[in-house]
Amino acid sequence: MTPGNSWDERISAFLFSPSQFLSCTTSESFLSELLDELRDEKANDHKKVLLLSALLEHPTVLCPTTSAGEGTAQELISILTFTPQKSISLKCHIMMAVTNVLICTSCLASQTKVAEDYLEFLFKTIQDTNDNTGGLSLQPLRATACDCLREMESCNPGLLSQKLETLYYLKQQETTILHQSYCTLYTQSLKNAIRLLTQEKDVDTSKLRSVLGGNEGFAWKTTGLPLSMLPFNMMTQVPQLSTMLDCKELKSILSLLLEESYLMTPISQALLLRGLIEIVAVVPAISPSIFKSQLLRLFGTAEVELMHATLLMKGTFTDSLFTAEDEHFLLKRLVGMAQHPLLRVPEKLFYMDCILHFPENRPISSSGEECLPVLVTPRLTLSLIPTVFNDSATMLCRLNLLCLVHLEADEEEEGKGLAYLFDHLMALLKIVDNQGSREMVVTSFRAVFIFLIHFNYMEKFSEKLVSSLCDLYSRHCRLAPHLINLADRIQECLEDSLWSVQLLKALQKCIVEMPPLQLTLQDLRWHLKILGRVAQESQIVQRNTICLLLNVLINSNLCERKNWQVGNAILAVCRNLLQHPTLSQMFIELADLLQHMTKHYEDTDIQDHARFYYTLLTNLSWEKLAGVLAKGPEGGQAKIRSLSAIVAENDGVTSCLTVHQTDGCVLQLMKIHEPGSQRATTGADTLETVDKQDLFEVYREQFKTPGFASEITLTYNLTHTKVTDPRFDKMFTICLHFDLNDSHYAEVSDIYVPCLFRDRKAPQVILKLKPYQPYPTSLRLSAIFTTEDGLSWHTQLPDVKVSFPEIFLPIPSPLGASHEFKEEVFDLMWNATSSGDPDSSATSLFCFKTESDKLADLIKIHFEGYQIAESQDQNAWKVLFFLPPRFHVLLKLRQAEDAVQVSIAMDNWELLPHVNAYLQNITAYCNMTTT
């Protein structure tokens, strides 16, 4: 039986990654366990709701076929039947799970028996209007039933089209808070029924009335209607009913629904309005003026949902419902809401987007392109001018809107508005120049991009921007990636614009003319990225770039520093230069550069690649060079393998050079327990010339030797975890990396394991720790390894916990030391500690009750490797723990009449809490009393 608390972990793992979770089991097995647990009467409702989340989120994973879905739905309905009435929340979740399974596994579309029965059950549930039968406690069940029916109707349009009279009657009867649920269900069914009629031919008034008064069974055979929504505007033709129909009854129903919408929440109102808009749009006999009474309150609404429904209405009916005054008022309302101080940023962005895509009565363009409405003028949007105090999203949205506004403005207004917008850009770049945050840097370059997209043709602004960006780069070379990205995006969006070339040419000039003192190694890496991008432009002369690189290599110690990253960046520039159309004009300079790197750059890999490029340069024509070094299509594999992968940083070798992250833990360390005597350390001296009076001094002198007895050694087995992923059955070159969680230990060196095979004996890992303070600790552990396919992986292992007893070592006595020597040292150390400095040493007493045979077992199990002396007649024992680098814990155990007394002495009083906890732990099975 699965432990209760493990279901939380299993469901979380399944929801996080169903495919990974099911790699260890099957969907049928997991579903069977889940249903068994749902049937268990001992399981609480909270746990069962958690289990149902798996079916709510991934029904097709657990029920991949219609038959599996039918069986699962039948089981859930059976569980629902036997669920106690008091478990209302659980019953609601089961109903939603059944609905979800029936829809997603096509049981509903296939008209299976369980779908028919469940649909009858839901319809019967909603017929208990006003809780007359079941009482108020069952109200959530009716609300859930309404939602389930509406979901079924949405996914199978027309399913309830023959139940409209019953649904209308239920809606009229319901007077509780659930009235809006009945209204939305009826509206959804009515809308789909009307749209079904538009698909038929020769629809007359009697047919319409029969649909509105339908009180038959469920329409299983008429669910072929597409689920596509109505177009946002009427520029696209949609099927409509005949204008000759008598729609008085339908109009009366719609009017009543509109009147009742006042009682609903904003979300339900918006849902109702969208349904009614779609109905009126396909029934030309009903005038859109039916919505006229709603416009006043909709114009003044502060609810985003209702404003969105209003704009849908505006885009659908245009001037047949909205006058020019209405249109202007609505635009002013949107502008006011876009800057309302009480609204959140997402809501303000929504209103600005509504302004940008405002559905006009007489739109100029119907192509769907971003085109500003004619009524949006600089005067109207004066309050939306961006400032540096806006958040990033608001600032960029306002800037884009204002750019479009001034793009269509007259010359006088355009001049003033553009000047302000350009000054705004300069202010943003000034903030970046003054060490602005990363967010401000990104925002500033996005703002520059937006401005250039609209006004790149205006030379006075574009030239000033180039100059300002170059000045900014000269002081902050770290902005190179942003400048390169800006140039790339402008080229993508404006193919005919030369602004990107102008910027790159200016940056090249800035770098080439930069004083030598500013060409630091860190800045040079950024300069090389810029120059590599410049080398891709056929319109820019590259001779100055080559001369700069050659001068840097000759007049600095860069070649001797063996910096592979810098060398590779220089070769990336050379690679682009080899494909440049003007290669013949810089042939000699480029050959000198490559030859110098071949001879003097003290990195073998860089030398080899420079030599290879030199060979290509001197033996191939430019056309062949361009063919050899050309990149394959982005996202696909070239038919002819390109040699560009030899040096290019972002080509096919990336996956081999990348360290991938495992989805979970695949390795673990298993502790090998060793007796303390096997970890004993000994001194280098012998006792041949030692006087007994100087024993303690001889012992203490040992610690003056650097590194004496300063390490503890722990042994582990490196094994696979229970996760059985065949990719990791064989691992090679495993590097274990340890990170400390405190400052009590010295840094731990990486440990290398040659290989680990799942079907072979686990290799041993010896971990050596050097304590500064001998306290319990834990170490974070990660590993990098290689698999058979040549990929490198990184995984996080469970923390390595070092307990207090694992730090214990026997006394580090000199070679040949006898028990008498150890006991003599113990006694001398006890006296010194007991009478020593109270600021450093400490004594204590620990007592516990136990029987004599249990005491013998305790001493044998825990103290055998550390026992110094034993007195059988006095029932006394002496035990000494050595804790690196130079601390001791001394214990004297004596069997008294009523308890065992443990006298404690130590030369570091801060260890007392750990010693006390250790003694409490090993004597936990005894009846303890402590003093």
The whole-number pLDDT of residue 643 equals 43
Alpha-carbon distance of 218 to 198, in angstroms, equals 19
Three-state DSSP class for residue 375: coil
**Sheet strands (E) in 788-841:** 792-802
Residues 661 and 849: beta-carbon distance below 8 Å: no
Rg (CA), the chain: 40
Condensed to tens digits (0 to 9), the pLDDT of residues 618-636 reads: 888 888 887 778 764 444 4
Residue 760: CB atoms within 10 Å: 9
Three-state DSSP class for residue 759: coil
The whole-number pLDDT of residue 637 equals 40
879 forms beta bridges with 867, 891
The whole-number pLDDT of residue 839 equals 65
89 pLDDT band, cuts 50/70/90, is: very high
Condensed to tens digits (0 to 9), the pLDDT of residues 449-497 reads: 999 999 988 888 999 999 999 999 999 999 999 999 999 999 999 888 8
Residues 253 and 190: beta-carbon distance below 8 Å: yes
- What predicted TM-score, i.e. pTM, was given to this entire model? 0.64
145 pLDDT band, cuts 50/70/90, is: very high
Residue whose pair of structure tokens reads 């043709």 in the numeric block: 457
Condensed to tens digits (0 to 9), the pLDDT of residues 844-864 reads: 888 888 777 777 788 888 888
Q: Mean of the per-residue pLDDT values for the chain?
A: 85
Asked if residue 252 has pLDDT above 90, the reply is: yes
Interval 420-448 mean pLDDT? 92
Asked if residue 926 has pLDDT above 80, the reply is: no
Asked if residue 931 has pLDDT above 50, the reply is: no
Distances (CA, A) of 259 to 285, 312, 692: 20, 19, 108
The whole-number pLDDT of residue 2 equals 44
Three-state DSSP class for residue 416: helix
DSSP β-ladder status, 751-757 and 667-671? unpaired
Give the best-scoring range by mean pLDDT among 19-23, 277-281, 358-362, 370-374: 277-281
Condensed to tens digits (0 to 9), the pLDDT of residues 695-705 reads: 667 777 777 77
Structure-token pair, residue 568: 């590779």
691 pLDDT band, cuts 50/70/90, is: low
Interval 684-691 mean pLDDT? 48
The whole-number pLDDT of residue 694 equals 64
Three-state DSSP class for residue 841: coil
Sequence-distant (6+) residues with CB within 8 A of 875 are 894, 895
Residues 597 and 570: beta-carbon distance below 8 Å: yes
User: Starting at the edge strand that comes first in sequence, how are the strands of the sheet with 777-787 ordered?
Assistant: 659-661, 792-802, 777-787, 730-740, 751-757
Picking from 589, 731, 624, the residue whose alpha carbon sits closest to that of residue 668 is: 731
Interval 317-323 mean pLDDT? 89
Residue whose pair of structure tokens reads 């120049």 in the numeric block: 433
User: Starting at the edge strand that comes first in sequence, how are the strands of the sheet with 667-671 ordered?
Assistant: 667-671, 712-720, 764-769
Alpha-carbon distance of 629 to 579, in angstroms, equals 7
What percent of the chain clears pLDDT 90, i.e. is strictly above it?
43
365 pLDDT band, cuts 50/70/90, is: low
Structure-token pair, residue 286: 């009903």
The whole-number pLDDT of residue 472 equals 94
368 pLDDT band, cuts 50/70/90, is: low
Interval 317-330 mean pLDDT? 90
562 pLDDT band, cuts 50/70/90, is: confident
Alpha-carbon distance of 376 to 370, in angstroms, equals 13
The count of C-alpha atoms lying within 13 angstroms of the C-alpha of 537, restricted to the half-sphere facing its C-beta, is 26
Asked if residue 677 has pLDDT above 50, the reply is: no
Asked if residue 416 has pLDDT above 80, the reply is: no
**Amino acid, res. 555:** N
The whole-number pLDDT of residue 873 equals 63
